[in-house]
Amino acid sequence: MRTQAKSGARRRRNAIRVAAVIVGLIVLGRITGTLVDWLWFDSIGYDGVFWTVFWARLAIFTAVFALSAGAVALSGLAAHRFATSIDVLSVVVEPPDDDARRYRGPPDLAEVASQIAPRIPWRLTIAGVAVLIGLFFAASKVSNWDIALRFLHQAPYGARDPIFGKDIGFYLFSLPVFVALKNWLMQLLFGCAVVAGAVYAARGDLAPGPPPQRLSPAAAAHGLALLGAFFALKAWSYWLDRFLLLYRDNGVVTGASYTDIHVELPVLWLLIGLALAAAAASWANMRRRSWRVPAASALLVFGGSFVLAIVYPALFERFYVKPSELQLETPYLAHNIALTRQAYGLDRIEVKPFPAEEGLSLASLDANRPTIDNIRLWDVQPLLDTYAQLQEIRTYYKFFSVDIDRYRLGSGYRQVMLSARELDSSLLPPNAQTWVNLHLLFTHGNGVVMSPVTEKSTEGLPQLFLQDIPPVAQSGPQISEPRLYFGQGEQGYVIVKGSTPEFDYPKGKDNVYTRYDGRDGIAIGGFWRRALFAWQLGETNILLTGYITNQSRILLHRNIRDRVHTIAPFLTLDRDPYIVASGGRLYWMQDAYTTSRWFPYAKPGLADGSNTIRNSVKVVIDAYGGTIDFYVSDPADPILRTYQRIFPGLFKPLEAMPPDLQQHIRYPEDLFLIQAQLYRAYHMDAPEVFYNREDLWQFPRELAGIDDGNASGSTMSPYYTLMRLPGESRAEFVLMLPMVPSQRENMIAWLAARCDPPEYGKLVVYSFPKEKLVFGPFQIEARIQQNTEISQQISLWNQMGSRVIRGHLLVVPIENSILYVSPLYLRAASGQLPELKRVIAAYGDRVVMEETLGEALAALFKATPPAVAPAAAPGPSAAPDARAREALAHYNRALERLKAGDWSGFGAELDALGRSLDAMSRGGAAQR
């Protein structure tokens, strides 16, 4: 027996040691992780952000832990203090004989408790349980540091909700905290009840089950006290539910509806009164301890909630509201429309008419040459495939995406496409993926590739403005620092400034090497720093290698989205950061949003359920040095103004951004897509029209991808283009998307977001006359498919071992008309190099396909040659008028210049043609 006891004690001690080691490792990991985070924040100059978040998290953890553990301990110790003495419950348990053992039923709980209770160290056990529960609650609630700081530093919104008249800032900043606090208190109350019930059960005061049941006076009083607290919390919950009515959705109205205001709201006030009465009755019943009072209270509150808050509103909705739904819901539809438009910035969209005329000619094309010169013929995926084949140079380089931007170059204001050549160390040969190669030698990418959106070579490949390693500029911007230590790839840590130089780029049979000279990095040269990072990153080589010197630094968070998110996790990031070449260096620009789920009466429009969004921040990351700057692009945003109060040193005014970088700000596609999606319905600002959905819009369909004759069409996406908007004097960079009516394919409008300063951020809808039929993209696609010449040529290519890839169809507004352009690529069935082989253009009821854009436009707008006036007296000596021959010659030369893409020569010949025709007109008038 003693041996068994000693063995059991030894096992318990070993278990305690193992648990202590595990807890110690967890705590150590937390401490080292926090230390590494602080070193990184300090290295980039944002230690103030780190400490603000750290102290907020620590304060919430401490407060929640103290209150939770204290409440649970108080409840448990009170149960232990007032439970009936175990001596009263103790019974003498005689050894049962065989018959008793055979027929005895389940053991009595009081009997079991009488044997177990004396052996339990109650105060220590209750304290331990309270600590565990407190740690659980504290760990789960510490993520609420964000809403807590927003509550404490909230900025007023400046507008009020239409039901309760509260500033919208109350819903954005205060209501989330109240709801989170209510939920925590409910959970804590449940924890207190469980611990108290366990103590009473173990002490024999609580014996549920078959008779004889037992509930001691102390257990009954304790339960009534907790029940009263629950009803009091329930009353507060009903009070908060009044405001949550503004987030309901009954399928017609998003927000509070007629039933919510006229039935649910009065019912909630009634339930508040019932819950408070139930709380008071429960507390008053602690002396009498009658079971009828809690039973009646529960029946009154929960039964009343079921009948009054569920059954009655459903019947009222069905038999009173539905028969007169439009009439009754009109004011609430108006609230929904107005506040949804406000939440997403739709109320700032300017609506302009677009006549959709068919008056385009070669002369009007010449007058809009900046638009024509920047029609995008290269789609992202074919161009990315082409870049990969032509410019990745080595297997370990990778182009992750293609960005669209505009630059002022020697050839003018040009729309270009560019991609960063990043290093993907996972593409190194397997036998070369050593720790030294992955983290000390191969550390960065090199340069970008840039090409104009319209031009192509004779082989159908893009004309490169920037190419090769190091970057060679041919009509593109000069780049003096092309190295990319920070980018879009899944990049791990690297150690720079070591004893070995870093690989820079290949040069023939040799390699060129370099050393990092940027500002980023945490000093790692000392033993304790090396030990810290070896532990945190789980890599002993950091501690053992001889390549690290006293000057060495470690670069962390090299993925730019991860870098921004680590500093500002409260911002929502756009999915498409883009590379910018400016001042000889490379920068990443990342759009960031402030979002919330708590805007009243607004329809949720984001994937995470948020119902308001603003592009309030532009983030710039130096691709070489790693410096990161947050610029305020929407200073009126109350959520951002709140964060500016929380983190006073984090955000800079947009005017502080270098002027050259400001020229590359663009309206983000994610935000534009969300706004366009909602605007399909919320352009209808009249409740009656909105209710009937009689003017619902949708995104048009198009055919893009491999053309095998079976394509069913996909939804058109927004696209950037450089164009002159109707009524404007200069070309500008815009993001646009056509719209078509619901269940129809004809075009009804197009939405444009202006990107160039000083008009940046302005949205314009150009609406078409409803009495005029304007072909939409999918109707044009159908005309292209039905064109005999085009379909035969595509079928022929597909049968010759090639694959035809249809590019995206672009809607190009020019003056008051619409031009359609779509590229066509050819790729070998076994190859990966798409070539731009044809350009399809459509205008009105005409569709053409030619080798170049110039040829397609020339064929599309080809006019009949001017007629020659006959001589007064016809005879054998009659000859064509010399002026007519001259006009025809100018016309033919203009077409040749257009096909060659020589727009200046085309314009000169067109002017000469105009002069000749004018002279002919004057000559004819003189003869008459």
| pLDDT above 70: residue 111 | no
Residue of 879 and 520 predicted with greater confidence: 520
- d(C-alpha 478, C-alpha 54), whole Å: 43
Beta bridge partners of residue 272, listed in sequence order? none
| pLDDT above 80: residue 494 | yes
Residue 260 lies in a domain: no
| pLDDT above 60: residue 627 | yes
Mean pLDDT along residues 218-235: 94
Do 201 and 67 share a structural domain?
A: yes
Q: Cβ(681)–Cβ(346) under 8 Å? A: no
| pLDDT above 80: residue 887 | no
> What pLDDT does 334 receive?
97
| pLDDT above 70: residue 485 | yes
- d(C-alpha 723, C-alpha 736), whole Å: 11
Do 902 and 774 share a structural domain?
A: no
The enclosing H or E element of 351 equals strand 350-353
Mean pLDDT along residues 792-809: 86
Q: Cβ(603)–Cβ(557) under 8 Å? A: no
Q: Who contacts 466 (Cβ-Cβ below 8 Å, separation ≥6)?
A: 418, 447, 448, 449, 450, 472, 473, 474, 476, 477, 479, 581
The amino acid occupying position 87 is D
CA 592 to mean position of chain CA atoms: 8
Q: Cβ(15)–Cβ(6) under 8 Å? A: no
Residue 728 lies in a domain: yes
Do 826 and 762 share a structural domain?
A: yes
Mean pLDDT along residues 548-574: 96
The domain containing residue 921 runs over which residues? 882-927
Nearest by Cα to 728 from 816, 845, 628: 816
> What pLDDT does 92 receive?
35
Strands (E), 755-882: 763-767, 802-806, 810-814, 817-828, 835-843, 846-850
Residue of 909 and 559 predicted with greater confidence: 559
Mean pLDDT estimate for the chain: 88
Q: Cβ(621)–Cβ(590) under 8 Å? A: yes
- d(C-alpha 905, C-alpha 896), whole Å: 9
| pLDDT above 90: residue 76 | yes
CA 635 to mean position of chain CA atoms: 20
Name which of 93-107, 199-213, 578-592 the model is least confident about.
93-107
Residue of 452 and 912 predicted with greater confidence: 452
Query: 88 exposed, middle or buried (CB, 10 Å; 0-12, 13-18, 19+)?
Result: exposed
Q: Indicate the residue among 215, 238, 261 that finishes a domain.
A: 215
Mean pLDDT along residues 517-540: 93
Do 681 and 650 share a structural domain?
A: no
Do 577 and 709 share a structural domain?
A: no
Q: Which residue has the tokens 């780190």?
A: 50
Residue 606 lies in a domain: yes
Which of the given ranges, 96-110, 463-477, 792-806, 897-911, has the highest pLDDT on average?
463-477
Torsion of CA 260, 261, 266, 269, to 10 degrees: 80
Q: Which residue has the tokens 């109060």?
A: 645
- d(C-alpha 847, C-alpha 202), whole Å: 87
CB atoms within 10 A of CB 295: 10
> What pLDDT does 723 receive?
94
Nearest by Cα to 739 from 771, 701, 711: 701
Nearest by Cα to 40 from 620, 521, 439: 521
Q: Indicate the residue among 665, 690, 717 that finishes a domain.
A: 665
Name which of 369-373, 412-416, 471-475, 871-875 the model is least confident about.
871-875
Q: Name the pLDDT band for 906 (thresholds 50, 70, 90).
A: low
The enclosing H or E element of 786 equals helix 777-786
Mean pLDDT along residues 113-140: 81
**Residue 354 main-chain phi, psi, to 5 deg:** -130, 110
| pLDDT above 90: residue 475 | no
Please give the structure tokens belonging to residue 469: 């390693």
Mean pLDDT along residues 659-682: 96
Do 911 and 841 share a structural domain?
A: no
Do 585 and 724 share a structural domain?
A: no
The enclosing H or E element of 523 equals strand 522-523
**Residue 34 main-chain phi, psi, to 5 deg:** -65, -40
- d(C-alpha 573, C-alpha 592), whole Å: 5
Please tell me what DSSP assigns to residue 869. Answer: P
Do 828 and 731 share a structural domain?
A: yes
CA 252 to mean position of chain CA atoms: 27
- d(C-alpha 251, C-alpha 267), whole Å: 22
CA dihedral sign, ordered 850, 854, 857, 859: negative
Please give the structure tokens belonging to residue 307: 């009948």
| pLDDT above 50: residue 875 | no
Residue 429 lies in a domain: yes
Q: Which residue has the tokens 């089950």?
A: 209
Residue 366 lies in a domain: no
> What pLDDT does 119 receive?
58
| pLDDT above 70: residue 114 | no
- d(C-alpha 384, C-alpha 387), whole Å: 5
Residue of 246 and 904 predicted with greater confidence: 246
Residue 156 lies in a domain: yes
Do 828 and 697 share a structural domain?
A: yes
Beta bridge partners of residue 606, listed in sequence order? none
Torsion of CA 214, 219, 224, 227, to 10 degrees: -90
Torsion of CA 754, 760, 761, 762, to 10 degrees: -60
Q: Name the pLDDT band for 869 (thresholds 50, 70, 90).
A: very low
Alpha helices (H) in 548-686, listed in sequence order: 560-567, 638-646, 659-662, 669-682
How many structural domains compose the chain?
A: 5
| pLDDT above 70: residue 157 | yes
829: left (phi over 0), alpha (psi -120 to 50) or beta: alpha
Residue 636 lies in a domain: yes
**Residue 805 main-chain phi, psi, to 5 deg:** -115, 120
pLDDT per residue as tens digits for the range 25-65 = 777 778 989 999 999 999 999 999 999 999 999 999 999 99
Q: Name the pLDDT band for 87 (thresholds 50, 70, 90).
A: very low
Nearest by Cα to 820 from 355, 358, 352, 353: 358
Name which of 102-116, 240-254, 613-627 the model is least confident about.
102-116
Mean pLDDT along residues 374-385: 94
- d(C-alpha 628, C-alpha 621), whole Å: 4
> What pLDDT does 495 receive?
96
| pLDDT above 70: residue 313 | yes
- d(C-alpha 60, C-alpha 54), whole Å: 10
Q: Name the pLDDT band for 289 (thresholds 50, 70, 90).
A: confident
- d(C-alpha 754, C-alpha 455), whole Å: 24
Q: Name the pLDDT band for 924 (thresholds 50, 70, 90).
A: low
Q: Indicate the residue among 428, 460, 484 that finishes a domain.
A: 484
> What pLDDT does 101 receive?
45
> What pLDDT does 117 receive?
56
Do 692 and 661 share a structural domain?
A: no
> What pLDDT does 93 receive?
36
DSSP letter string, 75-137: HHHHHHHHSPPHHHH----PPP-HHHHHH--SPPHHHHHHHHGGGS-HHHHHHHHHHHHHHHH
Q: How many CA atoms lie within 13 A of 359 on its CB side?
A: 6
Q: Cβ(659)–Cβ(587) under 8 Å? A: no
Q: Cβ(642)–Cβ(41) under 8 Å? A: no
The amino acid occupying position 793 is Q
Query: 392 exposed, middle or buried (CB, 10 Å; 0-12, 13-18, 19+)?
Result: middle
Q: Cβ(204)–Cβ(214) under 8 Å? A: yes
Beta bridge partners of residue 581, listed in sequence order? 586
626: left (phi over 0), alpha (psi -120 to 50) or beta: left
Please tell me what DSSP assigns to residue 739. Answer: E
Strands 701-702, 697-698: pairing is: unpaired
- d(C-alpha 198, C-alpha 202), whole Å: 6
pLDDT per residue as tens digits for the range 191-221 = 999 999 999 888 878 766 555 556 888 899 9
> What pLDDT does 856 receive?
93
Do 911 and 850 share a structural domain?
A: no
Give the predicted TM-score (pTM) of the model: 0.87
Residue 912 lies in a domain: yes
Do 725 and 854 share a structural domain?
A: yes
Please tell me what DSSP assigns to residue 175. Answer: H
> What pLDDT does 91 receive?
35
> What pLDDT does 186 receive?
97
